[in-house]
Amino acid sequence: MASWHKKLPMIAVAVVAIGAGVVLLLPHSGSGQAVAERVVYVAAIEPKGGVTVDKEPFPVGELPKGGGYVKKAPDPATGRWEVSAYQWSPATIVVRQGDLVTLEIIGINGAKHTGYIDRYHPNEFVVKRGEITRVQFTADTPGLFKIHCKEHEPTMEGYLVVLPR
């Protein structure tokens, strides 16, 4: 965590020595709430449903392209068909302006996800199944910012919501 602070020069961290002790002061907002270090646990998931054609006919309509939607035609042997959609879970992440944010992302479904976040993490990061990818940034600007996955558009799209202080 010590190296974490070194990466954040815009956060004015004042160290004040009082007597023999040292007190670490984080900046405060007008509302009196201190800047927080937030760890948000995120998963790359693929909710799936399936049924056999004797119970529900296979829907013939096309789903939007991009890799996010997956529909498997009925298995000739069993008659079972399946549908799924890739998602970030949670898809909406809410933090406050000034927060030091770590997204700890686990890959559960899908071999690989190439993600990026508008403004806050334009450089791509990769999430692999069974591995954790950590994405860190300081939420310095309020607003809504999309969280993308290049392999699974349009469904694997989330929002980072940065609330103003």
Question: Which residues have a Cβ under 8 Å from the Cβ of 136 and sit 6 or more positions away?
Answer: 4, 7, 100, 101, 102, 103
Judged by CB under 5 A, the chain residues 76 through 95 that form the site for Cu ion are: 86
| Minimum CB distance to Cu ion smaller for 3 or for 123 | 123
Does the footprint of Cu ion cover residue 46 (CB under 5 A)?
Answer: no
CB of 113 to Cu ion, least distance (A): 3
Contact call for residues 86 and 116 (beta carbons, < 8 A): no
Near Cu ion by CB under 5 A, which window of 35-43, 54-62, 77-85, 112-120? 112-120
Does the footprint of Cu ion cover residue 149 (CB under 5 A)?
Answer: yes
In angstroms, rounded to a whole number, what is the distance separating the alpha carbons of residues 74 and 79?
5
Candidates 151, 153, 161, 165: give the one binding Cu ion (CB under 5 A).
151
Beta partners for residue 87, in sequence order: 45
What is the enclosing helix (H) or strand (E) of 3?
A: helix 2-6
Site of interaction with Cu ion (CB under 5 A): 86, 113, 149, 151-152, 156
